[in-house]
Amino acid sequence: MPNLCQLLLTCADSTEADKISKVLLGKKLVACVREFATKSQFIWKNEVENEDEVMLVMESREDLFDEIEKEVARVHSYDTPVLTATPVTKISKKAEKWLKKSLVKG
């Protein structure tokens, strides 16, 4: 069985975050999405930018990353959305069972 992972993605606002969440959940590419308002500072075109954004924290599997990235690129408003995945090294047994059951078969 492929490894579970947690994904992070910033979005322009809650409308965009909701749209991306619905697409990924609808295709069973992620099992859970949490949204957090956040402030971001970053370098873009050699300038320091400050933006209010929405951070998505998503539960999935590493083998689904490429398909998730493809869907994010299709619906995200940013030229360069930053999607990252971190391996899950420990998880409670019931949560692991639920996650594996909730995602598209791999």
Instruction: Tell me the per-residue pLDDT of 27-73, one tens digit each, with 9 for 90 and over.
Output: 999 999 999 999 999 999 999 999 999 999 999 999 999 999 999 99
The confidence score (pLDDT) of residue 9 equals: 98
Mean pLDDT for the stretch of residues 84-96: 96
The confidence score (pLDDT) of residue 2 equals: 72
The confidence score (pLDDT) of residue 1 equals: 56
Global pTM?
0.94
Q: Does residue 87 surpass a pLDDT of 60?
A: yes
Q: Count Cβ neighbours within 10 Å for each residue of 3-36 and write b for 16 or more, e otherwise.
A: ebbbbebbbeeeebbeebbebbeeeebbbebebe
CA atoms within 13 A on the CB side of 106: 20
For 4-102, CATH number? Answer: 3.30.70.120
Q: What are phi and psi of 80, to 5 degrees?
A: -135, 75
| CB 8, CB 39: distance < 8 Å | no
